[in-house]
């Protein structure tokens, strides 16, 4: 069956066959099309440079929207959700399912990804050759940063802490637990270790010269 109605700049066309139905409506530069078949539904609306499409089937839903260079897509099925947004070179995608969540953002050469599940969390960020990754779970935390040949890793759990740093042939590791501290440094063939606990201090140095290794040790204790 087909029914067509019009009045001035308004127009409406209704078509149906079995369980299928289609309705087209227009007024000026506005357009609307509704379609259905069984439990499937689709609605498309437009006006000027705006556009919106809604689709559904069972527990699945999808909505697409656009205006100029802006785009947005929302999707859902059961407890799963996904939202994608973009404008120019900017983009954002958010996904979730149960207690899982993931958000990805980018603009030019910058990128950021956040992920979480329960008390676990991970954030990755990058721009050019710079990168940063932050991970946590309960009281545990890890942060990794890099730029060119520089790298830094920071780890902590309770009162424990460890920091590793490197640049070129230089290395540095700092560790602490309670009132204990330990710092290891190296550059080329030189090595240095500093340790402290309470009021005790200890420093060890070594330097390789050809085949020889020179070592020195200082131990300072206050009583």
* DSSP per position, 98-118: TTEEEEEEEETTEEEEEEEET
Q: Is the confidence at residue 156, as pLDDT, over 50?
A: yes
Structure tokens at 41: 């539904």
Q: Is the confidence at residue 223, as pLDDT, over 70?
A: no
State mean pLDDT over 210-216: 53
Q: Name the pLDDT band for 121 (thresholds 50, 70, 90).
A: very high
Count Cβ neighbours within 10 Å for each residue of 105-136 and write b for 16 or more, e otherwise: bbeeeeebbbbbeeeeebbbbbeeeeebbbbb
Other CB atoms closer than 10 Å to residue 6's CB: what's the count?
10
Quote the pTM value.
0.76
Secondary structure class of 64 (helix, strand, coil): strand
- C-alpha–C-alpha distance, residues 194 and 205, integer Å: 9
User: What's the pLDDT tens digit per position in 77-105?
Assistant: 999 999 999 999 999 999 999 999 999 99
């Amino acid at each position: 069956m087909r029914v067509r109605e019009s009045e001035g700049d308004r127009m409406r066309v209704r078509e149906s066959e079995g369980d299928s139905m289609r309705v087209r409506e227009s007024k000026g530069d506005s357009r609307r099309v509704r379609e259905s078949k069984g439990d499937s539904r689709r609605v498309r609306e437009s006006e000027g440079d705006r556009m919106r499409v809604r689709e559904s089937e069972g527990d699945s839903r999808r909505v697409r929207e656009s205006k100029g260079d802006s785009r947005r897509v929302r999707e859902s099925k059961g407890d799963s959700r996904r939202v994608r947004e973009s404008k120019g070179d900017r983009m954002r995608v958010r996904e979730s399912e149960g207690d899982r969540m993931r958000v990805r953002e980018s603009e030019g050469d910058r990128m950021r990804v956040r992920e979480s599940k329960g008390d676990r969390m991970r954030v990755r960020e990058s721009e050019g050759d710079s990168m940063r990754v932050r991970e946590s779970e309960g009281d545990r935390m890890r942060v990794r940063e890099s730029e060119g040949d520089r790298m830094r890793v920071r780890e902590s759990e309770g009162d424990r802490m460890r920091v590793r740093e490197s640049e070129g042939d230089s290395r540095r590791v700092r560790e602490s637990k309670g009132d204990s501290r330990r710092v290891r440094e190296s550059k080329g063939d030189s090595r240095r270790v500093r340790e402290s606990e309470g009021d005790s201090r200890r420093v060890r140095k070594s330097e390789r010269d050809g085949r020889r290794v020179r070592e020195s040790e200082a131990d300072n204790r206050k009583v």
